[in-house]
Amino acid sequence: MEHIPVDHPYFGVFLLFVITFGAFYMTTVAARWASHKLAAKTSEKIKLSVYECGPEITKQPSRISTQFYLFALLFLLFDVEVVFMFPWAIDFKLLGWFGFVEMLTFILLLTVGFLYAWKKGALEWHSIK
């Protein structure tokens, strides 16, 4: 399969974005309309409460354990690493030994950070211990 050069290759992406979001949003609108016409309706008060033990409807605070934020930080660290490595990988043959040694140094520095995080216990799941 050969590449067919076009002037604006991202135009297809944009069109796909518009059409998929439009189509799926219209699907929910159509489903809403159909259920309005067809679905059996009851008007119990408790029906619209969230799934929970007990009948009281209360506003629940959306709090997430700090453990998850730690993983988000680690992700930030290592995904940025990956983003730096992608251009290097594409031009690997062009850059040769120079680029390879540079990247090895970069990986070494990150490994030190990784080992520090490991030693500090950032990779453990604390809540079950």
Among positions 44, 55, 86, 119, the unique one binding another protein when judged by CB under 8 A = 86
Nearer to another protein, 12 or 116 (CB): 12
Q: What does the alpha-carbon distance between residue 77 and residue 75 come to, in Å, rounded to a whole number? A: 5
Among positions 105, 109, 116, 118, the unique one binding another protein when judged by CB under 8 A = 118
Angle between helices 92-120 and 66-90 (to 10 degrees): 160
Q: Using the rule CB under 8 A, is 1 a contact of another protein?
A: yes
Q: Using the rule CB under 8 A, is 71 a contact of another protein?
A: yes
Q: Which class for 63: exposed (0-12), middle (13-18), buried (19 or more C-beta within 10 A)?
A: exposed
Nearest to 81 by CA among 119, 112, 123: 112
Among positions 89, 109, 120, 121, the unique one binding another protein when judged by CB under 8 A = 89
Cβ neighbours for 40, distance < 8 A, ≥ 6 positions apart: none
Q: Using the rule CB under 8 A, is 112 a contact of another protein?
A: no
For another protein, the binding residues in 50-69 under the rule CB under 8 A are 50-52, 57-60, 62, 64-65, 67-68
